[in-house]
Structure formats: C-alpha cells, structure tokens
Amino acid sequence: MGSCPELSNLSGIGGDKMIGRGIAACTSVIFEEPMMRSPVSLFAASAALTIAILTSFGAGAQAPAEPPVICAALSVAEPARLIEVCTALIDNPATPETDRLDATITRAVALHDSGETGKALAEIDTVISKDPTRARAFRARGEILRQTGKMEGAFEALNQAIRLEPDNANGYANRGNAFNNAKKYDRAIEDYNEALRLKPDLAQVLSDRGAAWYFKGEYQKAIADYDEALRLEPHRARTYSNRSAAYRKLGRTEKAIEDVTTAIRIDPTQPEFFDNRGLDLAGNSDYTRAIADYDEAIKIRPEAKFLTNRGDAYQARKDYDRAIADYDAALKLDAKFQRAWNNRGAAWVKKGDRGRALQDYAEAVRLNPSDGAAAANYKDVAQEIERLGSLTYQKNLPSFNCATAKRQVEKAICADAGLAQLDRNINDVFLRVVASAESDSHRAALALTRQQRGFIDKRNASFGKRGYDLRQAMEERLEKLNTIARQ
C-alpha cells in the first residue's frame, strides 16, 4: 500500500499528526490496526493472524512438537508436506469417495497457500462438479476468492455454503470476514452474532467481531469481545495486539503498551507487534525505546511502514539526516508508499530544502489526491518558494539552511557557490549510499552515518587552521562517497 495504510487486506489505518508548523503528516501515531486471520492457511490455527480475516476458526491450542501430518481441515502442517500427504490419500484406490473429496479440498487450500491459486480453484471446482451439495467446498472457494480480492465471487460462494448448511457456524464466520473486508461492518457483526449463537465458545469469531466493532469506532465493545476471546483462549498473541489498538484509541496508552508487550512475549516473531509498541512509545515521546522496537521489526522483516515509522521517530528527535535515510530506504522497498513521500517532504522543510520538499509533497499528492494534509503541505511550500522568487533559488545552495548558519565554516560554504555545490553533492550521495545500505544492513548504515559525522566534525574543527584546505577535503569526501556508491 502506498499511503497511511487503509483497510485493504485489513492491514492498517492511520491518523494525521502535525510534524512542524504547517507540515501535516500521517506520522508515528499510526499503528497496526486489529489483525484478524491471515492468509497463512484457510484452515490453520488462528495463531497466525494479520489483519486479513481468514480460515475457519478454532484451533487455538498449541500443536505438539512435530505432530504426524494428517490430511485434515485444521492441519498445521507446512503446505508442501500437506499436499504430499493428501495426494497419497487421493490416489489410494481404497479411499472412500467422500474422503477423497475432502482430501482434495484440503489439498486445494494447501496449493493456494503455496501460491498456486489457479490450480487450487480448479480442484475445488472439480469437487463441486462431483458433489454440488458439499458446503465445505463452497466455503473454501469463498475464502480463497476473498483473499484474492474477488469479493463478488467470494460472497456468491459463501452464500451458497450457508444455504447448504444453515446451521454451520463456520459459514457465517467466513461470510462475516468477507463483510469486514468489504467495510460492511454491521453486516459482518450480524454474521458473527449468528456464528456465536450456533457456537458460543469460538474465540476467533469473538476476536473478529471485536475488529468489526473497532472499525466502527466502538472501541469499548471491541475490548469486551477481546476480553471474552482471551478468557476462552488466553494465549492468543494477536488478540492482545488488537485489544492494545482499542486501548490506544481510548487514550489508555499504558494498557495498550501492556497488551502489546504481552503479545511480544507470547510470539516475538511478529514484526507488527514491535512496530505497534514502537508507535505507542513514540506517542509518549519515548523515541529512544520506540526506535529500538522499530529496529526489531525491521530486523524481522524490512517493510516500508516500519522504516517510515522509525524515520518519523528520528524526525521527532530532529535527526533529519537519519529520518531522510529511513524514508529513502522505505521508498526503495515501496515507491508507492505515500506516507514516506509526505514525511520526507517534512524533513526536507526542516533542513531548509524547499525544492526537494515540494517534489516530495507533489508525489504524495499524486499518489493520494484525497490526502488533504499533503495537499496543504504542497501549497504552503509552493507559496513560500514563489515568495522567494522561484525554484532557481536553490541552485548552488548547500544542504543546510544558510539563513541559520552559525559556524564560520558554514558561512564560508554559503559564500562560495562552488563549495555550496560540493556540500550539496556530498549530502546527496551520502543519503543515497545510506538508503542503499539500510535496505541490506542497519549496522552498515549506522557505520556510514558515523563516518559522515566524523567528516563534518573534523571539517568544523579544522577550518581556519594552518594547512587545512576546505575545498580539497570536501572533494576527497565526495570522491570517497562516490566510490562507495559505485560498489
């Protein structure tokens, strides 16, 4: 996704906050929203959830170590192994036809989980052609179509599943998930209510209904559902994370941090949990600990949103170079991540580079024309540039704001067009090499940042001393950075 995450695959929604006077941005107050069942497996245990309501529910208990692989709906086996076991059952002439059809559905789900969605749907079609009354086949088809964004087909299949088995709670739960994806939250809640009437102890359905309440803005009702889900199954990491999001909306930050910390303790492999806690900590202005959590999220799985959130924390600490490096790395991963463009524009403004800020805001508006904050940012900077004359004002200006320069060396750079251009070139290449390094290794990016700071510190301390040639030192630094960039 390219902007403040929207309800697409239910991955997240964000809010606006001001970064600096007049620079509106969707910043680090954004957090991962309630996460429902993930695309890991249609019928897998609900331990793997990422706002994308999926599967039939249930399976909250931990599987024993290395359990035997069984071709069954709730198998937690790896898809490749499940495909192998189901194929053996399907190909066995002694397998009864009804069991063969069930095994084919399970194999189709595993094929979808392996990325072979077309083949999976073809297998389910085969089952339906042989037994058009098999509701489970329609549920599987509906879930796969929902995951792939084909909502009309998903509803058609799930409606048929309910017509065939009107007393099956799974059918209503699955259709409720589809309504949640379609942002029809009242309809989703109606289906979850029916599923819970048929089977009141479904913790996953309670959690999914909690998400629907959350998206409706009914945060207290969401918390009540999460409370009941955790009473039934107290080791659901995602439910703690979801409840944390609701607490945050109610301004109960400490409870939010407590819940997401519990989620991390239960399952420290989910980067969203660290990112969420980082956002809570940043909301409390604890940027050092927030950055540490973003570091963990990025270490587990580098994503544009995690890098952007860390960039926001650096920006809040007025470390604009690190912030820009993170935004650069985010956009290298996802050039359509609109929030990174907007927030990098804010950082450029703080560094006094209105030309680059204008370019970034323009791209943010292009990616999301409905983003009023980005549009206002663009308008403000464009008007300021117009007052200053035109975009040509930035030609031969250094990377810093000459109007606020205090050191003699900075004033000397501002007074010399050649030195000013050298300074800008050094900064340009430095930001590029740091962004490239960040996408591979945060440690390498930090090392490059320390080198750059060392160069600036030496430049500041040496300027004016006998034997120090500022132009030569800057040319040598630029050549060294260009060498790194070419590697």
CATH of the domain at 250: 1.25.40.10
In a domain, 291, yes or no: no
Cβ-in-10-Å burial (0-12, 13-18, 19+) of 327 comes to buried
Q: Any idea of the CA torsion for 155, 158, 164, 170, to the nearest 10 degrees?
A: -150
- Give the residue-averaged pLDDT of 84-109: 95
| Length of the chain counted residue by residue | 487
Kindly report which listed range (361-365, 376-380, 434-438) carries the lowest average pLDDT score: 434-438
Same domain, 53 and 197: yes
pLDDT reading at 324 higher than 60: yes
Residue 103 has a pLDDT of: 94
pLDDT digits (tens, 9 = 90+) for 233-243: 999 999 999 99
Residue 43 has a pLDDT of: 27
Boundary residue ending a domain (281, 309, 341): 281
In a domain, 139, yes or no: yes
- Give the other-Cβ count within 10 Å of 448's Cβ: 18
The model's confidence at residue 416, banded by pLDDT at 50, 70 and 90, is confident
pLDDT reading at 154 higher than 90: yes
The reply to whether the predicted model has a pTM over 0.85 is no
Residue 171 has a pLDDT of: 95
Residue 394 has a pLDDT of: 52
- Give the residue-averaged pLDDT of 431-452: 84
Number of domains into which the chain is organized: 2
80 Cβ partners below 8 Å, 6+ apart?
A: 110, 114
Residue 388 has a pLDDT of: 65
In a domain, 219, yes or no: yes
- Position with higher pLDDT, 300 vs 417: 300
First to last CA, the chain: 31
In a domain, 420, yes or no: yes
Contacts of the segment 63-69: beta carbons below 8 A, 24+ positions apart? none
How far apart CA 5 and CA 229 sit, in angstroms, is 26
Residue 300, CA atoms < 13 Å, CB-side half-sphere = 16
- Position with higher pLDDT, 474 vs 72: 474
In this prediction, what percent of the chain has a pLDDT beyond 70? Answer: 84
pLDDT reading at 65 higher than 70: no
- Position with higher pLDDT, 177 vs 25: 177
Contacts of the segment 380-383: beta carbons below 8 A, 24+ positions apart? 380/22, 380/23, 381/345, 381/349, 381/354, 381/357, 382/358
CB 54 within 8 A of CB 42: yes
CB 10 within 8 A of CB 33: yes
Same domain, 277 and 414: no
| CA nearest to 113, candidates 88, 85, 76, 87 | 76
In a domain, 409, yes or no: yes
In a domain, 47, yes or no: yes
Give the Cα-Cα-Cα angle 453, 454, 457 (nearest 5 degrees).
85
| CA distances to 399, 458, 459 from 426, in Å | 9, 15, 13
Kindly report which listed range (56-65, 131-140, 159-168, 419-428) carries the lowest average pLDDT score: 56-65
pLDDT reading at 245 higher than 50: yes
CB 27 within 8 A of CB 15: no
| CA distances to 411, 459, 460 from 407, in Å | 6, 11, 8
The model's confidence at residue 313, banded by pLDDT at 50, 70 and 90, is very high
E-assigned strand segments in 276-430: none
pLDDT reading at 73 higher than 70: yes
Boundary residue ending a domain (236, 263, 281): 281
Boundary residue ending a domain (231, 256, 281): 281
| CA nearest to 8, candidates 45, 48, 41, 50 | 50
pLDDT reading at 47 higher than 50: no
- Position with higher pLDDT, 290 vs 12: 290
CB 306 within 8 A of CB 276: no
Residue type, 413: I
In a domain, 248, yes or no: yes
Same domain, 272 and 416: no
Residue type, 365: V
pLDDT digits (tens, 9 = 90+) for 159-217: 999 999 999 999 999 999 999 999 999 999 999 999 999 999 999 999 999 999 999 99
How far apart CA 96 and CA 93 sit, in angstroms, is 8
Kindly report which listed range (13-27, 52-66, 72-86) carries the lowest average pLDDT score: 13-27
In a domain, 394, yes or no: no
Cβ-in-10-Å burial (0-12, 13-18, 19+) of 463 comes to middle
Average pLDDT, the chain: 84
Residue 17 φ then ψ, to 5°: -145, 155
In this prediction, what percent of the chain has a pLDDT beyond 90? Answer: 64
- Give the residue-averaged pLDDT of 343-372: 89
The model's confidence at residue 389, banded by pLDDT at 50, 70 and 90, is low
- Give the other-Cβ count within 10 Å of 77's Cβ: 21
For residue 419, the enclosing domain spans 401-486
Same domain, 274 and 411: no
